Amino acid sequence: DAGVIQSPRHEVTEMGQEVTLRCKPISGHDYLFWYRQTMMRGLELLIYFNNNVPIDDSGMPEDRFSAKMPNASFSTLKIQPSEPRDSAVYFCASSLIRTGKADTQYFGPGTRLTVL
């Protein structure tokens, strides 16, 4: 099992540029989550999908952020235009259908984004 795959692992860009982060969930998982980690706020949930459908995007900070899941094996998180305050580590996680437990989220290695 390859686990959750994220790309790129590191991204450095200039303010105003578009950034696209990619995620491949574990095969067979029904849920996909996007998180952002910062020192001040810890791990924040941005958006999550169930069977490719966005369920809750209340954590998306601004309209500059968008996420898609065109199929069960791929999701993107896009920031356009990017700003220095978007610098953070972005994690993707996936899980199986709800079993009454919330401990089945498996995280990818993260993408460290730096916006200059």
Q: Where along the sequence are the contacts to other proteins (CB under 8 A)?
A: 4, 31, 33, 35, 39-45, 48, 50, 55-56, 91, 93, 95, 98, 100-110
Nearer to other proteins, 4 or 60 (CB): 4
Check if the beta carbon of residue 19 is closer than 8 Å to that of residue 82.
Answer: yes
Residue 102 C-beta: closest distance to other proteins, Å: 4
Rg (CA), the chain: 13
Amino acid identity for residue 20 in this structure: T
Nearer to other proteins, 14 or 98 (CB): 98
Residue 64, both tokens: 């500059």
DSSP 98: P
Determine the Cα–Cα distance for residues 115 and 96; give it in Å rounded to an integer.
33
Nearer to other proteins, 52 or 81 (CB): 52
Nearer to other proteins, 27 or 80 (CB): 27
What are the b/e assignments for 13-25, b being 16+ CB within 10 Å?
A: beeeeebebbbbb
Residue 116 C-beta: closest distance to other proteins, Å: 21
Residue 15 C-beta: closest distance to other proteins, Å: 25
Residue 101 C-beta: closest distance to other proteins, Å: 7
